[in-house]
Structure 1
Amino acid sequence: MAKKLEMKFENQDGRTVTISLDDPIEPVDVVALNAAMDEIVTQNCFTSSGGDLVSKKEARIVERNVADIEL
């Protein structure tokens, strides 16, 4: 089971931009996550095809299960 932390931001065009990190530490430290996302927006260290990231939108842990099927 692969888990990812997805941090979602809004860009200048109003579209959602997702930054994903593999194998997040759980439970998530919400205070640290908020601070990190605020810093990403403040430092303007990422951009997208729709422009700079202007605000944080949401964050979530996504878990993906894959089951191979033998043919």
Structure 2
Amino acid sequence: MKKLELKFLNEESRTVTISLDEPVEPVDPAAVNAAMDEILLQDCFTSTGGSLVSKKEARIVERNVFDITL
């Protein structure tokens, strides 16, 4: 399963991650950047360390799980 992680810094300079399942690929960096700018502009998310104040990074994370038969 793949996730798009949007990482921000809050007022305490701590990292806050917003994860989105099954992102559209290939990822459009300009669209991700614009979405993160809009999240900051709207101030629609808060964290225990306060409001989100700046972008840190965005990345695609893929997790593979393999069951082991016992």
Cα offset for 1:54? 0.1
- Equivalent in the alignment of 1:18: 17
- CA distance in structure 1 between the partners assigned to 2:59 and 2:32 by the alignment: 11
- Equivalent in the alignment of 2:42: 43
Cα offset for 1:45? 0.2
> 1:1-71 alignment to 2 at 5 Å?
2-71=1-70
- CA distance in structure 1 between the partners assigned to 2:68 and 2:12 by the alignment: 41
User: For structure 2, which runs of at least 5 residues remain unmatched after alignment?
Assistant: none
Give the total of aligned pairs.
70
TM-score by length of 1: 0.97
TM-score by length of 2: 0.98
Cα offset for 1:70? 1.0
Aligned residues: percent identity? Answer: 74
Deviations 1:7-59 (A, max 9, x none): 00000000000000000001111111100000001100000000000001000
List 4+ stretches of structure 1 deviating above 4 A: none
User: For structure 1, which runs of at least 5 residues remain unmatched after alignment?
Assistant: none
- CA distance in structure 2 between the partners assigned to 1:39 and 1:65 by the alignment: 31
Letter in 2 for 1:38: D
